[in-house]
């Protein structure tokens, strides 16, 4: 039975001394909790040489090259970050190589089960939607929900203004393919707060991942 008593300082920023990603630790706890919603093939994988964890359906995940598949994730680079992740070249001619990106991009353009689920999760948890790795240099800019209201900041700026999920969908549809897209939809928690919560942090992570499972399932369908 997997067990996780909470994060330690050693779990952030470096793999040295970090053990939280294991299937006998948080990875296994989350996969077990999400299995009823995702299906019996729900599994966790620690990303090689990175303080990153993926959770996905085993039948569609490729550990050796996970770029083409959507996944739920937990990161501990600086703070604790967790949510949904889909990536691609963004080029329309590569849609067959990146079907999950294509599904996500196309299905959020209009009212759909995917967009309804995304809208509910973003508003409920005040999530951020951007390229996590590039921060303010994200090709699509940055989108976030503040008390249930969507805001956006153009690339390279901190000029936040009122926006909407349809505008986010438009930014996704307008990706040219000139740059790799690492789209993350996530919640962030200060590492000190995360460490201080002990095992209770699992509930906080699951509250977000549970509400993003329908987004994940609609993306891989």
Q: Can you tell me the distance from the alpha carbon of 109 to that of 15, in angstroms, rounded to the nearest whole number?
A: 39
- At residue 11 the predicted structure's pLDDT band, cuts being 50, 70 and 90, is very high
Q: How many CB atoms lie within 10 A of CB 162?
A: 9
- Please give the pLDDT value at position 68: 95
Q: How far apart are the first and last CA of the chain?
A: 30
pLDDT beyond 90 at 136: no
Contact at 8 Å (CB) between 180 and 87? Answer: yes
Of residues 136 and 213, more confidently modeled: 213
Tell me the C-alpha to C-alpha distance, in Å, between residue 48 and each of 75, 132, 164: 13, 18, 36
pTM (2 decimals)?
A: 0.97
DSSP state of 94: G
Q: Can you tell me the distance from the alpha carbon of 97 to that of 81, in angstroms, rounded to the nearest whole number?
A: 27
Q: Can you tell me the distance from the alpha carbon of 111 to that of 195, in angstroms, rounded to the nearest whole number?
A: 39
C-alpha R_g of the chain: 17
65 CB burial (10 A radius; 0-12, 13-18, 19+): exposed
Q: How many CB atoms lie within 10 A of CB 4?
A: 19
**Mind listing the domains of the chain with CATH numbers?**
9-220 (3.30.930)
Q: What's the distance, CA 221 to chain centroid?
A: 17
Contact at 8 Å (CB) between 152 and 167? Answer: yes
Contact at 8 Å (CB) between 212 and 120? Answer: no
Cα dihedral 215, 135, 16, 88 in deg (nearest 10): 50
Q: What average pLDDT does the chain have?
A: 96
- Please give the pLDDT value at position 135: 83
Q: What digits encode the pLDDT tens for the residues 160-205? A: 999 999 999 999 999 988 899 999 999 999 999 999 999 999 999 9
């Amino acid at each position: 039975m997997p067990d996780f008593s909470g994060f330690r300082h050693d779990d952030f920023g470096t793999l040295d001394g970090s053990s939280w990603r294991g299937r006998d630790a948080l990875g296994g706890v989350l996969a077990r909790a999400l299995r009823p919603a995702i299906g019996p093939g729900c599994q966790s994988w620690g990303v090689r040489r990175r303080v990153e964890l993926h959770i996905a359906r085993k039948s569609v995940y490729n550990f050796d090259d996970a770029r083409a598949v959507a996944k739920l994730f937990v990161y501990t680079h600086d703070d604790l970050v967790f949510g949904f992740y889909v990536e691609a070249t963004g080029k329309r001619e590569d849609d067959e190589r990146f079907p999950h990106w294509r599904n996500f991009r196309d299905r959020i353009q209009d009212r759909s089960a995917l967009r309804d689920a995304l809208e509910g999760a973003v508003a409920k948890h005040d999530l951020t939607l951007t390229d996590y790795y590039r921060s303010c240099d994200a090709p699509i800019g940055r989108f976030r929900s503040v008390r249930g209201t969507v805001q956006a900041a153009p690339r390279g700026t901190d000029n936040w203004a009122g926006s909407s999920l349809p505008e986010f969908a438009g930014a996704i549809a307008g990706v040219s393919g000139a740059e790799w897209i690492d789209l993350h939809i996530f919640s962030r928690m200060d590492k000190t707060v995360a460490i201080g919560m002990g095992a209770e942090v699992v509930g906080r992570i699951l509250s977000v991942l549970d509400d993003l499972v329908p987004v994940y399932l609609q993306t891989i369908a």
